[in-house]
Amino acid sequence: MNIERLIKMANDIGDFFNAESDKGAASIGIKNHILRSWDPRMRREIIDYCEKDGTALHGIVKTAIDDLARSS
């Protein structure tokens, strides 16, 4: 899948969960959404992008994907 599309999708998920006042819970929500809704190839691509660059990801999304990478 196109990495730009994955970045946009991840940031859109982050925008939704960012309304949560507890940013730790928001980050967990982002991670869990990606785990449930994205296929393994999509998750691997966004993790690889986050590890190599990650600059286009919103801060809370980067945190969630870093946590996802550690738990994979």
Residue ranges of the domains in the chain?
3-71
Residue pLDDT, tens place only, 20-38: 999 999 999 999 999 999 9
Nearest 5°: CA angle at 70, between 41 and 24? 105
For the cut 90, the answer to whether the pLDDT of residue 1 exceeds it is no
Nearest 5°: CA angle at 54, between 49 and 55? 145
The per-residue pLDDT for 72 is: 78
**What number is the average pLDDT over the span 30-53?**
98
